[in-house]
Chains A and B, each alone.
Chain A
Amino acid sequence: MRNDVRSHLDRRAALRLLSALSGLLAASTKISGVALAETSPNASGTSPFAVEIAPRVYAHKGHVALYAPANEGDISNAGFVVGRDAVAVIDTGGSARVGAHLHQAIRQVTQLPIRYVINTHMHPDHVFGNSAFEADQPAFVGHHKLARGLSARAERYLAINGELLGADVFAGTKIVLPTLAISDVTKLDLGGREIIIEPQKTAHTDNDLIVRDSETGTVFLGDLLFSEHIPTLDGSILGWMSVLDTLAQAPAQRVVPGHGPPSMPWPDAAKPIRHYLQVVTDEIRAMIKADHTLSDATKTVGFSERDAWQLFEDYHVRNVSAAFAELEWE
């Protein structure tokens, strides 16, 4: 969310170019739907907003970018699972407008009722599309700590992201809190198809959950998994590593990260993020042991990871600050 105007503009220009290029590539070589998914519906008008990554399981790839009017807040992944009787939506994008695009994509696939709208955690790029689903009267599903975390941040999230997108693009966006709070592993029925909601301990945030579709072995990991986009720490770095290690033990046919490709192999997809978190942790521990300060740490820790991630300049130092403040008390 933070950057100066110039880099903001440069990045957007670069994104538009990338977006256009990937559209061309897809058109000329007919490579997979996954590649097609990298262009937004607004960029090409024809490519699908969401791709079918497993039978009746769809995922959308958001831009790897900060909030900007050109991307409408479409900067995170989302998806949906279609059962015999109903649909479950997993995350809703970063504005009511993105939520509406997702809604439209669902309606191109099925007319079944949308029974559940699940938020993998409280961050605005994953929950701000919720309002586009209110008319469907679904159960809004979230970790039992989501409401507390989001409410505490709501005013600021709305103000900052509203300003970044502009009033027009942001119109209709509001906070929609969970109506079904998840404290324990919970099964949700879509008619002949069960999805399993698994709340996690504090990791990326203190209100992360994952969504497992048993039928296809697909797991929506939310922001417990970042790819391409640098991870952002708003919970506990030690908890995050621990959660990733536990999840890596549980097999999955494929996973959907909160940011990055719409479908990835598991547990291989966890390796880069797990590595990043470990490097940051190890280097901060060494700094603390040598009596260095938080300020010192922000100047050196983790810079070997710079080329491995997009948006490194936007989030890395903040990650180091947050991790330092945690690790100095371990």
Chain B
Amino acid sequence: MASTRTAAQGAAPLRALALLAAGLLIAACFWSGARADEEDIWPALRADLFGERAVTEDTTAVSLEAPYRAEDAALVPLTVRIPAQMAGSVKSLKLVIDKNPAPLVADFTFGPAAGAGERMIETRVRVDMYSNVRAIVETNDGRLLMATKFVKAAGGCSAPALKDTDAALAEAGKMQIKLLAGASDGQREGELKIRHPQYSGLQLNQVTGYYIPAKFLRVIDVERAGERVFRMEGGISLSENPSIRFSYAAGADETLEVKAEDTDGRTFTGRATPKGA
């Protein structure tokens, strides 16, 4: 099977894929699905991300919701929850998609305004082929705890930006910040949406014949009244028009401030204050 994988990435990928499909009869349902199960790349990926450190599957420390079959591979919703009893001792969260060209989707570093109640992060990602998706939290005492889900999807990373390319470019940088209702145990929920094409570097520009250079939101800082909720460092696997829903601590001043910067050094800022404040 390893030779198939190599051939599929070589000079005649279509022919190789077509032959592969014929060989597997109908079992090869759609492309890359057949390849995705061939090898477990997690051990190598884990070594790249964490060196020698152990990463332990522990769904009592972190849970991950993801659709088993993603209908739109460019727009796969993921929800991570860290239970209240863990939240205080978690300092960061990494989202990883094993088989994506850029497996590290996002790295969240939490601050004091993330709060002590149940912590939630929800976002949308691109999934390039059938892959394990992982949420890995790091505790203050240096443990790495993980939740894993398998997602069937194909083609999210090279999917052309936006259904309407012109609208995507015209409106980059617009921001929506919402304070959501339904707060409990001292936690609030907020939602941040930023218009950005999130070019992956894998999309072809037909006019020039070259791939569109990667251009994406590199870092997003979210603060509540001057205190960090989280800093997110992200890559091309975050869907275009990034959307992040997150929990944060209640406080006397619940103004949310957001600052984002893309790979071109363009910065985008926004803030939202509670109604009636």
> Does A163 belong to the interface (CB within 8 Å)?
yes
Name A148's contact: one of B29, B193, B206 (CB within 8 Å).
Answer: B206
For chain B, residues 12 to 48, give those with C-beta under 8 angstroms from any C-beta of chain A: 13-15, 17-22, 26-31
On whether the beta carbons of B18 and A318 are closer than 8 Å, the reply is no
For chain A, residues 200 to 244, give those with C-beta under 8 angstroms from any C-beta of chain B: 202, 205-206, 233-236, 239
Greatest chain B CB density within 10 A among A155, A158, A294, A328 is at A294
Shortest beta-carbon distance from B177 to chain A in Å: 13
Q: Mark B53-79, 1 if CB is under 8 A from A, else 0.
A: 000000000000101010110010101
Q: Could you list some 6 contacts between A and B, CB below 8 A?
A: A159-B13, A163-B20, A167-B15, A202-B163, A294-B243, A325-B75
On whether the beta carbons of A162 and B166 are closer than 8 Å, the reply is no
On whether the beta carbons of B191 and A162 are closer than 8 Å, the reply is no
When distances are taken between beta carbons in the complex, the residues of chain B under 8 Å from A318 are 71-72
On whether the beta carbons of B30 and A322 are closer than 8 Å, the reply is no
> Does B164 belong to the interface (CB within 8 Å)?
yes
Q: Among the listed stretches A2-10, A57-65, A79-87, A125-133, which one makes contact with chain B, having 4 or more residues with CB under 8 Å of it?
A: A2-10
For chain B, residues 86 to 143, give those with C-beta under 8 angstroms from any C-beta of chain A: 122, 124
Also in contact, A329 and B207, with CB within 8 A (given A8-B29, A149-B160, A167-B18) = no
> Does B187 belong to the interface (CB within 8 Å)?
no
On whether the beta carbons of A166 and B22 are closer than 8 Å, the reply is yes
Name A167's contact: one of B13, B19, B163 (CB within 8 Å).
Answer: B19
On whether the beta carbons of B18 and A170 are closer than 8 Å, the reply is yes
When distances are taken between beta carbons in the complex, the residues of chain A under 8 Å from B83 are none
> Does B215 belong to the interface (CB within 8 Å)?
no
On whether the beta carbons of B29 and A166 are closer than 8 Å, the reply is no
> Does B178 belong to the interface (CB within 8 Å)?
yes
Also in contact, A168 and B203, with CB within 8 A (given A149-B160, A291-B181) = no
- Given A3-B29, A163-B18, A294-B124, 7 more pairs with CB closer than 8 A: A4-B29, A147-B206, A148-B207, A164-B30, A236-B167, A326-B163, A328-B176
Shortest beta-carbon distance from A285 to chain B in Å: 15
Shortest beta-carbon distance from B159 to chain A in Å: 8
Count of inter-chain pairs, beta carbons less than 8 A: 122
> Does B171 belong to the interface (CB within 8 Å)?
yes
**Residue of A whose beta carbon sits closest to that of B34:** A163
On whether the beta carbons of B14 and A317 are closer than 8 Å, the reply is no
Bound form: Cα–Cα A2–B17 in Å: 17
On whether the beta carbons of A325 and B203 are closer than 8 Å, the reply is no
Q: How large is the interface on B (under 10, 10 to 19, 20 to 34, 35 or more residues)?
A: 35 or more
> Does B158 belong to the interface (CB within 8 Å)?
yes
On whether the beta carbons of B204 and A151 are closer than 8 Å, the reply is yes
Shortest beta-carbon distance from B157 to chain A in Å: 11
Q: How large is the interface on A (under 10, 10 to 19, 20 to 34, 35 or more residues)?
A: 35 or more
On whether the beta carbons of B75 and A294 are closer than 8 Å, the reply is yes
- A: residues with CB less than 8 A from B are 1-5, 8-9, 145, 147-149, 151-156, 158-160, 162-164, 166-168, 170, 202, 205-206, 233-236, 239, 291, 293-295, 298, 317-318, 321-322, 325-326, 328-329
When distances are taken between beta carbons in the complex, the residues of chain B under 8 Å from A322 are 72, 75, 163
Chain B interface mostly helix, strand, loop or mixed?
A: mixed
On whether the beta carbons of B14 and A158 are closer than 8 Å, the reply is yes
**Residue of B whose beta carbon sits closest to that of A167:** B18
When distances are taken between beta carbons in the complex, the residues of chain A under 8 Å from B166 are 206
**Residue of A whose beta carbon sits closest to that of B15:** A167
When distances are taken between beta carbons in the complex, the residues of chain B under 8 Å from A152 are 160, 203-206
Shortest beta-carbon distance from B126 to chain A in Å: 13
Greatest chain A CB density within 10 A among B17, B27, B207 is at B17
On whether the beta carbons of A153 and B160 are closer than 8 Å, the reply is yes
On whether the beta carbons of B71 and A5 are closer than 8 Å, the reply is no
Bound form: Cα–Cα A7–B158 in Å: 27
The 4 closest A-B CB pairs, nearest first, are A151-B206, A167-B18, A295-B77, A152-B160
Bound form: Cα–Cα A164–B26 in Å: 8
On whether the beta carbons of B181 and A166 are closer than 8 Å, the reply is no
> Does B180 belong to the interface (CB within 8 Å)?
yes
When distances are taken between beta carbons in the complex, the residues of chain B under 8 Å from A158 are 14
For chain B, residues 241 to 271, give those with C-beta under 8 angstroms from any C-beta of chain A: 241, 243, 245
**Residue of B whose beta carbon sits closest to that of A206:** B164
On whether the beta carbons of B163 and A235 are closer than 8 Å, the reply is yes
On whether the beta carbons of B22 and A291 are closer than 8 Å, the reply is no
Name B21's contact: one of A3, A9, A153, A166 (CB within 8 Å).
Answer: A166
Bound form: Cα–Cα A151–B165 in Å: 13
**Residue of A whose beta carbon sits closest to that of B28:** A163
For chain B, residues 147 to 202, give those with C-beta under 8 angstroms from any C-beta of chain A: 154-155, 158-160, 163-167, 171, 174, 176, 178, 180-182, 191, 193, 195
When distances are taken between beta carbons in the complex, the residues of chain B under 8 Å from A159 are 13-14, 17, 31
On whether the beta carbons of A162 and B163 are closer than 8 Å, the reply is no
Name B164's contact: one of A147, A164, A236 (CB within 8 Å).
Answer: A236
On whether the beta carbons of B14 and A162 are closer than 8 Å, the reply is yes
**Residue of A whose beta carbon sits closest to that of B78:** A295
Bound form: Cα–Cα A139–B216 in Å: 39
Also in contact, A163 and B31, with CB within 8 A (given A202-B163, A321-B71, A322-B72) = yes
Also in contact, A291 and B30, with CB within 8 A (given A156-B155, A159-B17) = no
Bound form: Cα–Cα A9–B27 in Å: 11
Shortest beta-carbon distance from B196 to chain A in Å: 12
When distances are taken between beta carbons in the complex, the residues of chain A under 8 Å from B29 are 3-5, 8
On whether the beta carbons of A317 and B195 are closer than 8 Å, the reply is no
Shortest beta-carbon distance from A154 to chain B in Å: 8
Also in contact, A2 and B31, with CB within 8 A (given A322-B163, A326-B163) = no
When distances are taken between beta carbons in the complex, the residues of chain B under 8 Å from A325 are 75, 241
When distances are taken between beta carbons in the complex, the residues of chain A under 8 Å from B30 are 1-2, 160, 163-164
